[in-house]
Structure 1
Amino acid sequence: MSEIKTRNDTAVIYFNGLGKKYEKPTAGDFLLNGHPVKGDDNEILPEDRVVSLIKQETANFISHHFTQIVLLAGAGSSISGLLGKQKVGSSMRDLTTEVEKTLKEKKLLTLEQLADLSKYEIDDCKASDFNLEDLMSCIERAEKYISEKDKTAFDKTYEDIHKTIRVATSYEYDPNILHHDRIIKMLSDRVVAPNKLTIATTNYDTLFEDAAKAQDFSVVDGFSYDANPVFDADNFEWNLVRDIPNLATSELEYKKQVINLIKLHGSLTWERDTDGLVHRRLKTQVSQPIMIFPSSDKYLQSYTEPYFDLFSKFQELLNRPDTLLITNGFSFGDNHISQMVHHAIMHNGGLSVMITDNNITSQSSSGWLDIYNLMEARYPVIFVKSTLNSLSDYLGEVPQ
């Protein structure tokens, strides 16, 4: 397996399988494959010209009339700031640090003690390199095997971790800081009805729902349209249509402002009732939200409702012809999702993939490197350094 090799002081801006790798050292001019970027006159291009060139090449990559567009948003897509002064969103590292702080303040079990009781083997519980999701998944599997003398402390600690994560991810959408609304509009404009833009996310927050609502978009998330929404995957197959007046035919008009939303890891607004049905409610009405913590090697929960249906829908979309997948803030550390994407790139000749992330050179998961290797093998994959807020700069105009 190859590694992503760059200079230590370099921020990779753009690289693709056609052998182009643009880099910007902290001191110096842009580099293309290690050499200064020059124009037709052999003069070194200024930074603004190179950035425009990168944006144009990226826009060209997605200029095709794709039938399906899927945006896969990970934890990084919810993290943005306004001029570096305000921050919204929490990375998994942030959540782990917050959990450690809570457990210490409340004198509950430490992460090390939880790992020991759950038979979860770790080398280090520090937030910098500890996988909280793996531990949570292991805790859930071990819960019924915990001895009576440890069970009270174990259950209380587990409950408080859930509460900490719920509070830490329960931020509200602020259009002055976040640009989810802009991305929804730009990508949705590229999709021709009856197809819909699909946003798949591993985040528990409601930023995409709130951003869509602010623009009068209807969100199809698998739940029924009634006073007490219940999950049913068949709802993804429906469209919103209306009759066209004054026409003798039975022609229908599709509502353009509709998106699919696939929340692969659950949501702060989901809760299961005593009959096992999954309901969507207001965040203030949910006491035990449904959140999945997938481990790196076992996905027992993802084969239960609603996760099985959600993962199946996501996989089915990736395997459709003429599809564009854009990822943002997703590290490919979730093997289940990573393998779906990897398989689709290799076997779906009609799939193009644009990987975007603000930490494009520091990702080291096996899933990330696997996708990078496919790019180097000339599969239709490009990497772009971008937050969700700046993603709109690389999308270009809607193809005519």
Structure 2
Amino acid sequence: MSDNERDPFWLSKNVKLCQGVGSENEKFYKNGVEIKEDNNSIDLDEFKKMVKNESLKFLNNKFDNIVVLVGAGASVTDNNFQPDEHGIAKTGVTVAKIADVVQKKLADKKYHFDEDEEDFDVFTLAEMAEMSSYSDNILDNGKKLNGEFNLEDFLSNILAYEKFVPEADQEKFKNTKKIILDIIIKATSYNYDRNTFKHVKFLNVLSKLTNPENKLNLVTTNYDTLLEDAAESMKWTVFDGFSFSQTPQFDSTMFDWNLVKEVPNVKTNENIYKINVANLLKIHGSLTWERSESGDNIIRKDKKLVKEPIMVFPSSNKYAQSYQEPYFDLFNKFQNLLHKPNTLLITTGFSFADNHIARMIISAIQTNDGLSTLITNFSINESQNSNSNLNELINAMDNYYNVAFLKATLNGDLSEYLGGSMDDN
């Protein structure tokens, strides 16, 4: 069995740590050679300690700038859609799981919005796919979505088709689209539960890596409020691009500020920086953002009070949407962060399927010699990778760019690999 057939936990240019699969799942390998101590095979705990050591070596540099990209996978726990009585999910799920929920809800032909108990006349997902020329068959055995269905491509298709809908079908089409978007919102509206999510532990570990003079930079594609909820529970200060006012309004210059105080009783210009301060860039919008009644401003509210959240819904035209307000300012800030010297980028739960973000990161790796990139995911098996962006990142690693891969998830053991212990809260 070659390393290509094993389960990798750590990949860098010079070190590959893998676990055997099948009958060899109790064997562990470094650069293709079984790891043994005193001629005995090591166990999983010892192997994970070796993975942690490699991770800590990678993080050993004192970085001036730390950027963490948090993708949809960081909010996923068991990937089971468990809604409450209002249809709000309790934990995060994948886009594929949301697509399954959409298919079932539309097939039932019954859907209630919170403000209305009326049944809406809707198309099924298969009918929407056929009428918009997405596909004439998206179901296996007439029931389950087949493996070729892609919710992002489908949404792009129906949004493009919307202006061509026959007049007789327009209301039904509008109702169906509204339901699809409502399901996406409710599937991402979960609240932070520290017994389920590990964001507090993750932030605690990151704070130990961060120089107070340079705020930790959290960048997320997620609409949910897990990061800000976790930060608030820890009494962190978060600059999210909104003013510190009674009605917070979007102001991208807020990211440029920090919290300092003068050194007391000393005649010096030295300042003391407040610890546990972070920037939070929600580059695809948020459940808590809404346009003001005049439409001139973007304001932040409690998500329960938001009727039409500002969000980039999953569709393949996300790149075009990223040039609109407020996304352009957020993407520009993210890009600038990636080009700063002595920068560490950590990704978690990000699949690199979002091409507009993936290309930005790859470009920064290729042009910024001071950028180190640690890509973490639930699987880093290079031999089974059909994602061209990830393949390009693996090639960058092989060509001595400072890129490494770690098999870990935020709600799994990522915090431990980054230096945390089981005792961290």
The answer to whether TM tops 0.5 is yes
**Counterpart selection for 2:337 from 317, 322, 332:** 317
Structure 1 pair 397–169 and aligned structure 2 pair: CA distance change class (3 A): closer
Q: Is contact 1:375-1:382 (8 Å) kept?
A: yes
Residues 337-372 of structure 1: per-residue CA shift (max 9 Å, x gap): 000111111111111111111133365322222212
- Residues 205, 419 of structure 2: 8 Å contact kept: no
Structure 2 residue matching 1:268: 3-state secondary structure: coil
Change (3 A) 1:128 1:247: farther
For residues 156 and 69 of structure 1, the distance between their equivalents in structure 2, rounded to whole angstroms, comes to: 44
For 1:264, the equivalent position in structure 2 comes to 283
Task: Give the Cα separation in 2 of the matches to 1:318 and 1:28.
Answer: 39
Count of matched residue pairs: 390
- 1:139 to partner: Cα distance: 3.4
Are the structure 2 counterparts of residues 6 and 267 from structure 1 closer, same or farther at C-alpha, using a change threshold of 3 Å?
same
Please point out which of 304, 320, 326 is paired with 2:324. Answer: 304
Alpha carbon RMSD of aligned pairs, Å? 2.6
Q: CA deviation at 1:153?
A: 1.4
Which residue is equivalent to 1:369? 391
Q: Does 1:391 align with 2:389?
A: no
1:54 to 2:47 alignment = no
| TM-superposed deviation, 1:315 | 1.0
Q: Which residue of 2 aligns with 1:70?
A: 67
Which amino acid in 1 is paired with 2:226? L
Counterparts of 1:23 and 1:87 in 2: how far apart (Å)? 33
Q: CA deviation at 1:293?
A: 2.8
CA shift, 1:61, in A, is 0.5
Unaligned runs of 5+ in 1: none
- What CA distance in whole angstroms lies between the structure 2 residues aligned with 1:191 and 1:285? 35
Q: Using a 3 Å threshold, how does the CA distance of structure 1 residues 220 and 331 change in structure 2: closer, same or farther?
A: same
Distance 1:145 1:5, change over 3 A: farther
Q: TM-score, normalised by structure 2?
A: 0.84
The answer as to whether partners of 1:22 and 1:30 remain within 8 angstroms in 2 is yes
Residues 245-254 or 172-181, more deviating = 245-254
| Contact kept in structure 1, 2:287 and 2:306, CA below 8 Å | yes
For 2:8, the aligned partner's letter is: V
Query: Where does residue 142 of structure 2 map in the other structure?
Result: none
Matched-pair contact (CA < 8 Å) for 1:326–1:353: yes
- Note the C-alpha offset of 1:38: 2.9
Shift of 1:21: 3.8
SS class of match (1:290): coil
Q: Deviations over 1:279-332 (max 9, x none)?
A: 111011101111103544662211110111111111111111111111111110
Instruction: Give me the TM-score of the superposition, normalised by structure 1.
Output: 0.89
Q: CA deviation at 1:234?
A: 0.8
Q: How does 1:1-400 map to 2 (within 5 A)?
A: 6-7=4-5, 10-26=6-22, 27-39=25-37, 41=38, 43-80=40-77, 88-106=91-109, 108-118=122-132, 120=134, 124=138, 126=145, 128-273=147-292, 274-293=294-313, 295-296=315-316, 299-361=319-381, 364-389=386-411, 390-396=413-419
Aligned residues of 1:13 and 1:24 also touching (Cα < 8 A)? no
Residues 354 and 238 from structure 1, CA distance in 2 versus in 1: closer, same or farther, beyond 3 angstroms? same
